[in-house]
Structure 1
């Protein structure tokens, strides 16, 4: 089973990276940067192609999407290479030269391989060890929508961001109890659907594969690209990002555990690469044509972020706002050639103007009507001001613990930027992100929405944003620590360290950082011992993999019996909160109620309302008979029929069943129903009254 998992992961990774890589190589981007930037094209291309296919009536699948993109990318590459010549492939978009081209390329390739290798190994250990089986999935509220949307994509062949639904096929759309819809970012779902349609894995397995691809491949390559561009003048910093990329509990791991917030995970993984493209626009030595090409790539990257999760665009803004302010503050010196005592006040003035413009854009978007439902969404405070500040200070970020080693590295990195001031803006980016997290964590007033509203005032997302930016400060802190240790050893021995010894010191420091950030949690997965926030990641993954609180193994087996008993297209009425919401989402059983919230609202169909409240009276209630007949339902499924003295598990949205009395009230002797399958408190009834 794990063999198929990693085979499909390879197929999805190639499908995500290869089209963008081929196009970027055609435009002359350096190989390693092409790998880093490739998903920025691939992610958006799959979503846009899905939208176009819906309009054209073409069925989306791995063959029709990835196959077409492979061919298009190859054509673009061939045309560009014929026009530009083979030498075009050596363009590095403004990266400064360090010795011979071969030396620079080999260094970049070695660093990229290190990022990817550590990413695959680290993610592989956590996914394989703690998932247990490739098709384990989190039985949480958000995952009903994630799994159901993937299944809807596969069933309908429609992968459009304007048509995502748990009722995606034409037959299901006709009986949707809650019709309506609109734009929803679907990039992560498209990647997961590639997995299902390429090798036939389940939706549950596909979401794990999509997460693995983003965590093990996209995030490390994205982080490499950002560090390679940012530290181009100090390239020895770059390798130190490899061991730091996946160490923060707040990101990517808490987004996997809480919610789960998989689309946000995928979007955040691409943010560093998008930032790298933006930084390259300001590199000296770029030609006009290269800047135009970078601008086009940046626009495509923003589209990819928005199609994955729009709040990633605001995360990018938090990361780059201090850089933009710094760049504008340099205008008097770089472009106006001002010198002398007047330069400092002018730089402050220009920087202040840039800050005012950024704040104005921020407030304009905050007050934009199309974002009102997002920015006004409220999460209650989880701590007071001191507790939230402490959580940020120790890099806990909602992970139920601290990561003191990483926190020390972040501080070391921030101090290091005071000496190498060209990177000082990164410290301000991290401080800005932490400030958003702290305000969002303790406040319940307007400031909470102004600063955290773009992330639904969700402290987990805000903590993930701070953790993402913290990766690069921690890497710089690790490099700074390495330099200090080498200097101290050399001074003590009164001789400079050999290159081999210097590399050995770096490897030892990296190992200490990894162990100090994770080991206390690895020793006893699921236990409450240890003081490292990463413990909650490990125990949380173990809990999700081994515990089925709502939809247990017996119910899954019963659903498989149901699938073998009823016709494939038979519609089955159910109570989604008893676990049967996952019967569709994970096991593709055609149930009627697939969402677990938002019933008793104006958008609900009359048939749905009647069935929820009065189905048990179908034998002598003409309205119920008409409602059931109009949707074509033939069966009723109960996974937790229950007994007076037995409390059956339900999702938190069940609310004591007050909205489901018409279905919950059915028993074996209720007129109008015939028992088809019975096991414990699980029942499948055939509706005989219509």
Structure 2
């Protein structure tokens, strides 16, 4: 079971990293940097190929997409290597960190392996221990869409962001109760669909694979790249980032548990690599050709972020805006001005950069195509002081605190005051925290101006702050290590040996990991504990392994249904009784797949008639005509009875008024014949309507 999981993970990872790695190696990047930045090319490439295939009528699957991309990447690699006359990898103005371990592995290789290895062990332990099974999935509102979209990708062979739907195939699109659509970011779905079409696993299995690839491989590799570029001249800081990348409850873990927000997870995991690409363009001595090449990679990075979840582009902006202001403020230094005049000019240039960034921010805020996003409202979850305290203790919606990480961030921020070339990162984190706090307590215009790009969602804003906090915490951990080294050297009146300094670093890293993740003592009146990570552990276990709406008995009943009906038979259902997951997770061809309000202008007349009056099919011509039009053959009920009495429904069910035409059907209702019956579960055949084969 788990062997298949990690085999599928390896195949998906190779498919995601491989094409981009070949292209970047051809461009002349070192192996470590090419590996770290490769997903920026791979994510965009898979979505763009899916879009092209949809226009050309080509079926998308792992073989057709990955096969094409590897061939194209190999050709580009060969052409670039020939054009560069087989020159060795260039450094892109990064310093050479030498070699270790007998000259076989470079410092970069060891660090990258450390980042990925720690992440794989840490994330692997959480996934294996708390999921229980790779087939487990969260029975939450958003996951119906996630699982259903993956299933539609697989069934239809259409992987386009402009044709994303739970009714993607031609036959399903014809009976969609809520027709319409437009652009929707589908990068995460494409990666999950690679898992299904390569190994034939279920959609639930595939989404766990996709999440593991992004959390255990893409995020740590990107974090390494960011740290490697940022601390090019201070390499001792780089290894400490490996231990901080996955410690924050706010990201990536709470964003996995809440919603769940898997597409946003994948997008945020790409942000560090995108930021590293941007920083590389400003490395002193980077040639014009290299800058042009990096600019192309950065364009692909922006495309990948937008195609995964557009708010990641604004997250990248929050991270890099202070860096851009700092860079612009340094322009007067090249003018050879001096004294107070130079200081005044730097302030002026910085103010101009800030004004330009503000103008761009407000232009995006007022853009019509973003109106529905920025005007979306989450109600405040706390007052101003409570939201500030949540940010201060690095809780970020995780119902607890991470005092150790909070301390490391404070130390890291103080360290940037001493080493001011990194001070911009402290401003990035402060800005992200400000967005989180305003979203947490405000209910006015500021809420939308600051956090509208994240749907004013405090979980997403908290995830953004946590993401940026990773690098400040790594600085803080390094600063603590340097402080201990200095104390030891002062006490011993001599230099500390390499083994001793390594042992001290390992002890500090262990303290940071345990201090940030150990469940801790439960807080007064709370079951989640003083340490925010306890809610992560609890949520991973209960969220994915406890089936409440679509329980084991109902899943077994659906499997019986699949043996009785033909694969293309259309089954009318009430999605809120759990049957929405019957399509999304078990590929049963149900009619109603969304769990949203159906009484909307774009709902089809057939859908309205069936929801309200299906039970009267024996006596009403319009009902029979509606059923015939969509080709309905069966009715599925997983919770027959009074609403919320015998079995739970999803929260969108309300009092069931929208579904009275289906809920009212019983064994003796004219026009319906019992095919399967068990407890409160029924499968009826509609006998008063003839459906052509």
> Which TM-score bucket, shorter chain as reference?
over 0.9
Question: Counterpart of 1:469?
Answer: 468
Question: Counterpart of 1:610?
Answer: 609
Alignment of 1:345-384 (within 5 A): 345-384=344-383
Contact 2:97–2:107 (CA under 8 A) maintained in structure 1? no
Distance apart, 1:92 and its partner CA? 1.7
Distance apart, 1:80 and its partner CA? 1.2
Question: Counterpart of 1:648?
Answer: 647
Give the match's secondary structure for 2:683: strand
Contact 2:248–2:466 (CA under 8 A) maintained in structure 1? yes
Contact 1:311–1:454 (CA under 8 A) maintained in structure 2? yes
Say if 2:512 is the partner of 1:500. Answer: no
Cα-to-partner distance string for 1:516-573 (whole Å, 9 max, x where unaligned): 11122699xxx93641000000000110233111000000000000000011100000
In 1: Cα distance, 2:642 partner to 2:285 partner: 75
In 1: Cα distance, 2:643 partner to 2:125 partner: 45
Question: Counterpart of 1:600?
Answer: 599
Aligned residues: CA RMSD: 1.5
Say if 2:73 is the partner of 1:50. Answer: no
Cα-to-partner distance string for 1:286-306 (whole Å, 9 max, x where unaligned): 111001001111001100100
Alignment of 1:387-536 (within 5 A): 387-520=386-519, 528=527, 530-536=529-535
Cα-to-partner distance string for 1:71-94 (whole Å, 9 max, x where unaligned): 11111111111121222x421212
Contact 2:321–2:357 (CA under 8 A) maintained in structure 1? yes
Question: Counterpart of 1:632?
Answer: 631
Distance apart, 1:321 and its partner CA? 0.3
- CA separation of 1:215 and 1:98: change in aligned 2, threshold 3 A: closer
In 2: Cα distance, 1:626 partner to 1:645 partner: 32
In 1: Cα distance, 2:623 partner to 2:6 partner: 49
Distance apart, 1:495 and its partner CA? 1.4
Alignment of 1:108-119 (within 5 A): 108-119=108-119
Cα-to-partner distance string for 1:259-318 (whole Å, 9 max, x where unaligned): 000000000000000000000111011111001001111001100100000000000000
Say if 2:295 is the partner of 1:301. Answer: no
How many equivalent pairs are there? Answer: 686
In 2: Cα distance, 1:471 partner to 1:421 partner: 18
Give the match's secondary structure for 2:76: helix
In 1: Cα distance, 2:99 partner to 2:289 partner: 24
In 2: Cα distance, 1:663 partner to 1:112 partner: 56
Give the match's secondary structure for 1:13: helix
In 1: Cα distance, 2:514 partner to 2:567 partner: 51
Contact 1:22–1:74 (CA under 8 A) maintained in structure 2? yes
Contact 2:99–2:107 (CA under 8 A) maintained in structure 1? no
Give the match's secondary structure for 2:682: strand
Distance apart, 1:233 and its partner CA? 1.3
Contact 1:19–1:70 (CA under 8 A) maintained in structure 2? yes
Cα-to-partner distance string for 1:615-648 (whole Å, 9 max, x where unaligned): 0000000000000000000000000002589342
Cα-to-partner distance string for 1:430-470 (whole Å, 9 max, x where unaligned): 00000000000000000000000000000000000000000
Question: Counterpart of 2:259?
Answer: 259
In 2: Cα distance, 1:278 partner to 1:352 partner: 21
Distance apart, 1:340 and its partner CA? 2.0
In 1: Cα distance, 2:95 partner to 2:559 partner: 60
Give the match's secondary structure for 1:266: helix
Alignment of 1:157-176 (within 5 A): 157-176=157-176
Question: Counterpart of 1:17?
Answer: 17
Contact 2:521–2:530 (CA under 8 A) maintained in structure 1? no
Contact 2:549–2:648 (CA under 8 A) maintained in structure 1? yes
Give the match's secondary structure for 1:136: coil
Contact 1:579–1:651 (CA under 8 A) maintained in structure 2? yes
In 2: Cα distance, 1:282 partner to 1:446 partner: 36
Question: Counterpart of 1:178?
Answer: 178
Distance apart, 1:98 and its partner CA? 4.4
Say if 2:620 is the partner of 1:621. Answer: yes
Say if 2:546 is the partner of 1:556. Answer: no
In 2: Cα distance, 1:83 partner to 1:529 partner: 59
TM-score, normalised with respect to structure 2? 0.97
Distance apart, 1:103 and its partner CA? 7.0
In 2: Cα distance, 1:659 partner to 1:529 partner: 37
Question: Counterpart of 1:284?
Answer: 284
Question: Counterpart of 2:79?
Answer: 79
Contact 1:575–1:593 (CA under 8 A) maintained in structure 2? yes
Question: Counterpart of 2:147?
Answer: 147
Question: Counterpart of 2:120?
Answer: 120
In 2: Cα distance, 1:279 partner to 1:340 partner: 29
In 1: Cα distance, 2:572 partner to 2:428 partner: 51
Give the match's secondary structure for 2:519: helix
Contact 1:97–1:104 (CA under 8 A) maintained in structure 2? no
Question: Counterpart of 1:189?
Answer: 189
Contact 2:399–2:528 (CA under 8 A) maintained in structure 1? no
In 1: Cα distance, 2:97 partner to 2:171 partner: 61
TM-score, normalised with respect to structure 1? 0.98
In 1: Cα distance, 2:252 partner to 2:147 partner: 20
- CA separation of 1:175 and 1:262: change in aligned 2, threshold 3 A: same
Give the match's secondary structure for 1:660: helix
